[in-house]
A = this chain, B = another copy of it.
């Protein structure tokens, strides 16, 4: 009765490394939702977790080297703990696999550059998980700007408000708000308006006092100067009472284009006290589409023989701006991004 498998001839075989929340989500997408891909293996130090993520009949296990040796595996998704990204990335590159890596490659510029040099040597395709570039709203903003529909960019604005601050244990090794979180806003700024030349950070600890001892802040305004002459501002906070609040707004010569904050549903309640609407809680809900679309874009690029994007240069340049922002916060003055470029 069998006439064949759905699209299997051309489908790229995927290994997912790491079966936590994001790894499991990627595995599920690769098993049933991404055209041109199929999930063949899932690896995690916790074998039971790997098994739970092995959707659609994929193999699962704990041995990464064995999995990378499997010729059916043509591409990997790296969703392991952040501190292992660089190691897993270099192993996958050396095994000749195409790589989709959750951000960041590493928290410092040196380790990031080292790992990406291995990727470059191996000549394998590489995409970094700056998921916002594939959010339908953010992507449409970028598309309209890149197409020149509104003329030159004059002012960029991005806002990201998290519902809760990270726990202290996380903060200690996170690299601070700029490298850990604002980097997403920085990458969108670069994507939309081009390279950033100078940054000035203004930050405060208003929410989570334990941030003080790590030199970190929870409330930040970061101003950007772009090579193009445009200016920009990123507003970030680590606590809202209502959920996750993101917005990108690009003021151009002939108009402005905005990706509005998102609500959980399109429902409005009218009653005593006026109108009420709900709100999206956090990133898993907010970027549900983007997490699928970015991997689809990776697969489509591989199938088309094109470079996936955002690529290694984005992984490193967005980090470079974040590192400059952290330096500006510390020094209390503007910092040139080129300081960190040799």
Residues of chain B within 8 A (CB-CB) of A108 are: none
Min CB distance A269 to B, Å, is 5
Report A35-86 residues with CB < 8 Å from chain B CB: 38, 47-48, 50-63, 66-67
Does A277 reach chain B (CB closer than 8 Å)?
yes
CA distance A11 to B232 in the complex (A): 51
Interface residues on A, range: 35 or more
CA distance A216 to B184 in the complex (A): 33
Most chain B C-beta atoms within 10 Å of own C-beta, residue among A27, A54, A61, A269: A269
Does A263 reach chain B (CB closer than 8 Å)?
yes
Query: Nearest CB to that of A255 among chain B residues?
Result: B271
A273–B276 touching, CB < 8 Å: yes
B219–A155 touching, CB < 8 Å: yes
Min CB distance A256 to B, Å, is 5
Residues of chain B within 8 A (CB-CB) of A141 are: 267
Does A4 reach chain B (CB closer than 8 Å)?
yes
Most chain B C-beta atoms within 10 Å of own C-beta, residue among A140, A231, A257, A262: A231
State the A residues within 8 Å of B (CB).
1-8, 27-33, 38, 47-48, 50-63, 66-67, 136-137, 140-141, 144, 150, 152, 154-155, 157, 161, 200, 202-204, 206-207, 219-221, 223, 225, 229-233, 235, 237, 239-243, 245, 251, 253-279, 332-334
